[in-house]
Amino acid sequence: MNLFSAIGDFSSFFFRSLFIPWQLRQSRDRIVHQVYEVGIGSLPIILVIAAFAGLVSIVQTSYQVAGTVPRYIMGMTVGRMVMIELAPILTALMVSGRCASSMAAEIGTMRVTEQIDALEIMAIDPYRFLSLPRIIGTFIALPVLTVIAELDALLVSGAYAHFFLDVPFGVFNYGLTNLFYARDFFGGLVKSLFFALVIATAGCYYGFNVRGGAREVGRAATYAVVTASILVLALDFLVALVIFG
């Protein structure tokens, strides 16, 4: 399959999954379940990586600017770095690794064990039953996770600055809040919305297209993570170009 037909196939899968009657009465519980799976399920790992991202950013910032600019600049630099780039991208990559693979594996297993055929024969649209809740669930959960990751990273970096770099909380917070641009925060959130769409679509797409057995299910999980990660990075560039370019 060449690149263009793969992109076409992927896009048509996305539209086929989303632009259908949602039948919210039947889909509501499954959407809530996916919000829980993606959101609550990913929360511990997101808290851990966001904390380290915050620590790395404050250490790097301190290394580069300490002694050359006022100390409150550190709060501004870390804040913008976390909101614009680090929190959205790291959260998306973590959710790709955790959720896109599990979506592909779960749906792929359902494909090879005829469960998707069973849905079709029971007159239940498998796109509405399987893809829609995952895409909507990730679309709701990922921005929330991103905001949590931002708060976590900023708190940890602020604490590190206070205790180890002689930058009091008040000074760090002054730089963070007084030089805050809403565009930075919302730009990061807009990115995470786009990331959510490609992560869930990649997971579902590769799951639906599994043909064969256990080996193909494993491959689908791998392809889903690789594709989601590449698309996340590509979209990061494109959205950055539009919002911050």
Partner 1 sequence: MIDVRNLSKAFDSLIVLDNVSFTVNDANLVVVLGPSGTGKSVLLKSMLGVLPVDRGEVLFDGRSIQNASAQDTYEIRKQVGFVFQSTALFDSLSVADNVALPLQEHTTFSSRAIRDRVCDLLEDVGMAGKANLYPQSLSGGMKRLVAVARALALDPRYLFYDEPTTGLDPVMTDKVVKLIKTLKDKYTNSGIVVTHDLSTAKAVGDQIYMLKKGRISKLTKIEKELYD
Indicate the DSSP class of residue 71. T
Q: How far is the CB of 175 from partner 1 (least distance, A)?
A: 48
- Pick the closer one to partner 1 by CB: 128 or 191: 128
Measured between alpha carbons, how far is 15 from 7 in angstroms, rounded to an integer? 12
- Pick the closer one to partner 1 by CB: 110 or 132: 110
Q: How far is the CB of 106 from partner 1 (least distance, A)?
A: 8
Structure tokens, 121: 């024969």
Q: How far is the CB of 16 from partner 1 (least distance, A)?
A: 11
With residues binned 3-state (H G I as helix, E B as strand, rest as coil), the percentages for the chain, rounded to 5, are 85, 0, 15
9 binds partner 1 (CB under 8 A): no
- Pick the closer one to partner 1 by CB: 1 or 123: 123
Q: How far is the CB of 164 from partner 1 (least distance, A)?
A: 47
Residue pair 165/57 in contact (Cβ under 8 Å)? The answer is no
Residue pair 130/106 in contact (Cβ under 8 Å)? The answer is no
Measured between alpha carbons, how far is 243 from 245 in angstroms, rounded to an integer? 6
Q: Report 100-129 residues binding partner 1 (CB under 8 A).
A: 106, 110, 113-115, 117-118, 120-125
CA 42 to chain centre: 10
Q: Report 150-209 residues binding partner 1 (CB under 8 A).
A: none
Which region holds residue 67: left if phi is over 0, alpha if psi is between -120 and 50, else beta? left
- Pick the closer one to partner 1 by CB: 71 or 128: 128
For partner 1, the binding residues (CB under 8 A) are: 26, 106, 110, 113-115, 117-118, 120-125
